[in-house]
Structure 1
Amino acid sequence: MNNIAIITARGGSKRIPRKNIKDFLGKPIIAYSIEASLKSGIFQEVMVSTDDAEIAEVAQKYGAKVPFMRSAKNSDDFATTADVLVEVLEEYQKRGQKFEYACCLYPTAPFVTAEKLQKAFNLLLEHKADSVVPVAAFSYPIWRSLKIENGKLQMNFPENLNKRSQDLPPAYHDVGQFYFFQVAKFLSTKKIFSDFSVPLHVSELEMQDIDNETDWKLAELKYQIFYG
């Protein structure tokens, strides 16, 4: 198989300055995604897409390649993950390199492991899926969630007011760690999610959305509990 790992790490981070190379329990947080990719043994290329020279230097120190820098167009707050992936894959094609499968990893995903990546790749092959997405179940049924309108509480789904939580179907969310996908399918649709995306189930202890300093501390605590 001809596979590439693409770690998306732009320099601009407003809520947590220099987030992608901030120290996480002894090393830059991006190092976890790089090391898991390299250790998995399933990638012919492990690269970092960045617009930032310092991030590029750190990435190379931990074994990733930075064969080209990200364009300014795909480095602002409005560029999507799909935009960045298209740019990377098309640039490689211009250089004569094509890949059958790709994995997009986020740089702030310390819970990604080589074993998880291997399992996701096996799922992709086994199901002949378009993509594999790590997901976790919401801890409380979203079907009984509330909203606030004009200072008053209302149910999002009032028809479920008298239903027991155990009788409602489970709901899941993307844990924001990585996506494994078929390159040809992705380039034809420019979509990571499709009608044939399959889940990789992840526990709440193995995930943490990191958007602020509190999230960061929670991630470190969870990591120490799960891997310490």
Structure 2
Amino acid sequence: MPLRPFNIMEDKKSRVIAFIFARGGSKGLPGKNVRPLAGKPLIAHSIDIARRCQFVETVIVSTDDEEIAAVARSHGAEVPFMRPSELATDTAPEWLAWRHAIEWVRTQRGDFDIFLSLPATSPFRTVEDVEACVRTLEEDAATDVVVTVRAAERSPYFNMVVLNEDGKAELVIKPTSAVSRRQDAPVLYDITTVAYAARPQFILCAERLFDGIVRTVNVPAERALDIDTPYDFMLAEAIARHRFEA
């Protein structure tokens, strides 16, 4: 069944706050959050999409980096606090940064209904992708979190291997029936960083994403790129030239 059209007046009861989590210590691609892409800093693409979503009350950037904070403010986001250094290391789970941001908002501005995370590293999402996540969460009271996914290109049933103790390759998951073609393998999806929509209380109480009831929104591959390496950024520049400059 197709999702109903998004109606901002109908959904006005939900208080939605968008967050962008962008720490300053990226090692794979230094300075990636403020690196220019299609004429503006990478993080600005996420801020712009969040600000175009009429149901979003405000856009808050959580960062430990003053340069990122300044860029975020210049593009219309709030940076009302700096992320504690212990939540901005290579090993600190972002889940804890999510909790910190939720607790800050609850303490300073009161309860809200939907936590919306729009990572800075996913610049090609659309407003419709974000709306679909919020709508999916609202339509099922039992759902704790909605994640975006894309069709997986590799399958542990067909073309992903591990090496055994003898150094020989084996399928990650051995199928119980013959799988001679990729089409015969179970349909699988990759989680993307396009958007996460969740109930704040779930994040505060759970230890990890899949502790709760998770639903998905499928996005096409061309909108699902997650920039983490120099190669990813090169690919993003090629996509941007086609998408933004054509």
Retained in 1: the 8 A contact 2:98–2:203?
no
Per-residue deviation, residues 36-65 of structure 1 (Å, max 9, x unmatched)? 000011111211001111100000011000
Aligned with residue 112 of structure 2, among 99, 118, 127: 99
Instruction: Single out whichever of 26-35 and 142-151 deviates more from structure 2.
Output: 142-151
SS at match of 1:88: helix
* Distance change >3 Å, CA 226–CA 148, structure 1 → 2: farther
TM-score if structure 1 supplies the norm length?
0.92
Paired letter, 1:143:
Y
Aligned with residue 45 of structure 1, among 45, 58, 64: 58
* Distance change >3 Å, CA 182–CA 154, structure 1 → 2: same
Aligned with residue 176 of structure 1, among 176, 180, 193: 193
- Within 2, Cα distance between the matches of 1:170 and 1:188? 31
Q: Which runs of 5+ in 1 are unaligned?
A: none
Matched, 1:156 2:169: no
Runs of 4+ in 1 over 6 A off after TM superposition: none
Q: Please give the residue correspondences for 1:70-81 in structure 2 after superposition, counting only pairs within 5 Å.
A: 70-81=83-94
TM-score if structure 2 supplies the norm length?
0.86
Instruction: Single out whichever of 141-150 and 130-139 deviates more from structure 2.
Output: 141-150
Retained in 2: the 8 A contact 1:143–1:160?
no
- Within 1, Cα distance between the matches of 2:241 and 2:156? 29
Retained in 2: the 8 A contact 1:175–1:209?
yes
* Distance change >3 Å, CA 152–CA 226, structure 1 → 2: farther
Matched, 1:188 2:201: no
Paired letter, 1:191:
R
Aligned-residue offset at 1:21: 0.5
Report the counterpart of residue 11 of structure 2 in structure 1.
none
Q: Please give the residue correspondences for 1:128-139 in structure 2 after superposition, counting only pairs within 5 Å.
A: 128=141, 129-139=143-153
Aligned with residue 103 of structure 2, among 78, 90, 96: 90
* Distance change >3 Å, CA 107–CA 62, structure 1 → 2: same
Paired letter, 2:103:
E
Report the counterpart of residue 75 of structure 2 in structure 1.
62
- Within 2, Cα distance between the matches of 1:147 and 1:161? 19
Per-residue deviation, residues 70-108 of structure 1 (Å, max 9, x unmatched)? 011101112111100111111122224221111112111
* Distance change >3 Å, CA 16–CA 169, structure 1 → 2: same
How large is the RMSD of aligned CA atoms in angstroms? 1.9
SS at match of 1:173: strand
Paired letter, 1:130:
D
- Within 2, Cα distance between the matches of 1:115 and 1:109? 14
Q: Which runs of 5+ in 2 are unaligned?
A: 1-13
SS at match of 1:73: helix
